[in-house]
Structure 1
Amino acid sequence: MSWWTNALNWFGLPAGAQDGDNLRTNQITTERYSDECASGAALALGLSATWACVNFWAGNIAGLPLTVYRKGPAGVPVEARDHPLFSLLHDSPNFDQSAFDFWEFMCACLELHGNAYAEIERRANGSIISLTPVRPDIVCVRRLWTGEIEYSWEADGRSVRSQQDGVLHIRGFGGGPLGGLSPLQVCRRSFTSAVATDSAARAMFVNGARPSGILSTDKPLNGDQRTKLEGLLQEKFVGAANSGRPMVLDNGVKWNQLSISPEDAQMLESRQFSVEDLCRIFEVDPHMVGHTAGNTQLGSSISDQTLSLLKFKMRKRLKRIESALEKQLLTPADRFNGVSIEFNVEGFLRADSAGRATYYNIMQQFMTKNVDCH
């Protein structure tokens, strides 16, 4: 198995996350669709729009500092750098990855798979020392008769079976306790249509869609002459690399070109619709991934567009991750003492000086009001 196939397996189509009494059934399902997982993810990620949309969310969210806070003077949250989880979430969740690497992968899993998993390693006293990501397509989830949720997978020559306290599980949209819904599965028709359109356009160019035509003659051709003429045409003139090559004809043979416009050959309208359709699935404005055809940008400035992105699309993604971390990683004592885990969205405004100035002004007013109240 190639490196590329192994890499794609990390973003495979989901085969687990099913509710059932028989774990073996889920394992069989995982094995049965393992090849389909890699090929399906490869086709989806091979679409430039899918790659750009997933990379957009994963990269931008991973670039935000993830910080542990506790209540400070006047109830204003301050960074809790002495908290055991601070360096784990902010700097390096495990021995091999930086925080950016880890969260970029976790966010990509959420966008494609609808679930993100990480194995939790604890000390004897229960404190967390590492979070190691787990491929979502190999994880099987079931609810035990005791009410506990059990996670199991096989990787790196070992078989793991763990309950909820041993796995960080961030659930995507539309699911339940056992997992979120996978866009790759739910929106399979959109991905299939986009892949088919892209493949059809590519095939037309590979087969010499421009120019294409018919060789005609008023003289009858025997079998050998027809075969030689077709072979000559295929050998010298078919394919994009031979486009425009001069053709010498004699004995009354004529070339009748079939006119195919570039728009028809590339199926521009269909491909444009596919890009917009995929952008709708991942909730990315088309101009954010380089698709500007027929686009009207909402907002009068970059800061307005950024604010819209934060309010309506990014906020729920950040909240989904923050809530999962607070519920699964914080202790009851942490919650009682007002400890929280939040992304610092100020990092998203680093390149926008006007936006940062507005942000600082609002925060200063907020903090002043809280101090006055106390």
Structure 2
Amino acid sequence: MTVSPDEYRRASGYRRSTGQQQRATLPVAPGGPVQAFTTMDFDSPEFRDFVNGGRQATTGVVVGERLALRNSAFFRAVNLIASSIGMLPTHLHRRKADGTTDKAKDHPLYRVLHKRPNKFQTAFEFKSYMQTVALLDGNAYARIVWGLRGGKPAVLQLIPMARGTVDPILSDDWVLTFRYRPKNGATVTLQAKDVFHFRHPISKDGLKGLGLLDVAFESLGLAATADRALAKLMSTGMMAGGAIEFPDGKDLDDDAFERLRASLRDDHSGADNAGSWLLLEDGATAKPFATPESSQTDETVKRQVENVARFTDVPRPLLMMDETSWGSGIRELGLFLVTYCLTKWFVAWEQAIERSCLTEAEQDADELYVKFNDGALLRGSLTEQAAFFSKALGNNGAWMEPNEVRAAFELNPHSDGGGLPKGKPAPAPKEVEDA
């Protein structure tokens, strides 16, 4: 049974009357005090694991965060999603009156999102961390530090809040607040404008997201059991290939025994003789033992990798568990990852930032918006890009100018502004010619 921290406090008579964070210690053993003890905050993830023991799968394995991340496929999926979100630029854009758009570099939020969310994290580190926590727990929270820029309120910092210390609360009149339990100090109530809440798209109550550890624990438990069984087989199991039996009453003489032993040692040992069979004498019968392959342990592990792929939406080949050659399908795999896995996270990030980090006046004006630049993940090979830009610059239905193509490769624009006479081919960039 899973016990929440609040339920444990009520059952144990815990109170916060002093306004200070109380701690739990291991009980005193009969006959004297415990010489070694552990202290944990009631609201810390460590204490939650201590009370709940993680979540027990049907296989008997207790699945917690540490065990889950030891699963190579699960770690790969979480790492791939989190690092992809972290490395992609996040820009604040502005819609102008003439219908065009540009980057809102003059807005304080632009630098917070693109460069420095706080004083101790880069944009990559902040987004990767928040994405990882949202995957594991379903929810990630950051404290919004507001200030004034040009006489107007603006977000100056986004500071991650410790896991397990924040709970969203919706009142009967639909006012959203957040209960925050800091490591040191009494519980406080924060207004919605002071908390950046990023959560998993799937929610059971409309407030909190659903974490992977809550829904994938059975598959992770089965995978851990299969790994443990295989490790035990390798460490304590019999590694002999089989047994040689002789008919009842038949004993080998010393010469026959030495010949057989020499054959095993010289003709059938080592990697070069793997899988070879013996030539027996005197009516002997060879009976092979079961192997890890025949016990289908490997197939069980592969099945769990497929389950991880389903839970995370990461394509199976990107979990490094596909026996086929990728070949020209790498671009399609990248497109699959962006379309069916990352796009929903892009939208979740963009709308969460706009909801929490723009003032109500800015939201009502509908001029500012946040956009992930996923172009880096969708680019094909240089040959494919050359073919695309050649058509984009063509005479029939051209929709790009040379300077726009140069900007895609972070090259400086030409002084003529990129305009070319109709019918004249676009010159190759000097950097390409030099190469």
Compute the TM-score of the two structures, normalised by the length of structure 1. 0.71
Candidates 215, 227, 231, aligned match of 1:202:
231
State the SS of the aligned residue for 1:33. Answer: helix
Amino acid across the alignment from 1:151: F
Name structure 2 gaps, 5 residues minimum: 8-13, 16-40, 56-62, 249-285, 402-435
**CA 1:291–1:140 in structure 2 vs 1: closer, same or farther (change >3 Å)?**
same
State the superposition RMSD in angstroms: 3.8
Matched, 1:277 2:307: yes
Alpha-carbon distance in structure 2 between the residues aligned to 1:134 and 1:177: 21
For residue 89 of structure 1, report the CA deviation from its aligned partner: 0.5
For residue 213 of structure 1, report the CA deviation from its aligned partner: 8.1
Alpha-carbon distance in structure 1 between the residues aligned to 2:3 and 2:161: 13
Residues paired across the two proteins, number: 311
Contact 1:70 1:80 in 2 (8 A): yes
Q: What are the residue-to-residue correspondences of 1:179-198 with 2, within 5 Å?
A: 179-198=208-227
How much identity, in percent, do the aligned residues show? 26
Amino acid across the alignment from 2:110: F
Contact 2:335 2:378 in 1 (8 A): no
Task: Name the larger-Rg structure.
Answer: 2
Q: What are the residue-to-residue correspondences of 1:65-104 with 2, within 5 Å?
A: 65-72=89-96, 74-104=98-128
Range 37-46 or range 184-193, more displaced = 37-46
Contact 1:91 1:99 in 2 (8 A): yes
**CA 1:138–1:199 in structure 2 vs 1: closer, same or farther (change >3 Å)?**
farther
Aligned to 1:33: 48
Contact 1:201 1:265 in 2 (8 A): no
Alpha-carbon distance in structure 2 between the residues aligned to 1:62 and 1:338: 25
Matched, 1:118 2:147: no
State the SS of the aligned residue for 2:124. Answer: helix
Contact 1:65 1:347 in 2 (8 A): no
For residue 140 of structure 1, report the CA deviation from its aligned partner: 2.7
Aligned to 1:249: none
Contact 1:16 1:140 in 2 (8 A): no
Aligned to 2:342: 314
Aligned to 1:138: 165
**CA 1:366–1:318 in structure 2 vs 1: closer, same or farther (change >3 Å)?**
farther
For residue 312 of structure 1, report the CA deviation from its aligned partner: 2.3
Alpha-carbon distance in structure 2 between the residues aligned to 1:339 and 1:150: 25
Name structure 1 gaps, 5 residues minimum: 1-12, 19-23, 219-255, 369-374
Alpha-carbon distance in structure 2 between the residues aligned to 1:359 and 1:116: 39
Alpha-carbon distance in structure 2 between the residues aligned to 1:185 and 1:258: 43
For residue 265 of structure 1, report the CA deviation from its aligned partner: 5.9
Aligned to 1:152: 179
Alpha-carbon distance in structure 2 between the residues aligned to 1:34 and 1:284: 28
Higher relative contact order (Cα pairs below 8 Å, separated by 6+ residues): 1
Aligned to 1:163: 191
Alpha-carbon distance in structure 2 between the residues aligned to 1:33 and 1:325: 30
Contact 2:201 2:344 in 1 (8 A): no
For residue 129 of structure 1, report the CA deviation from its aligned partner: 1.3
Aligned to 1:305: 333
Alpha-carbon distance in structure 2 between the residues aligned to 1:95 and 1:169: 20
Aligned to 2:253: none
Compute the TM-score of the two structures, normalised by the length of structure 2. 0.62
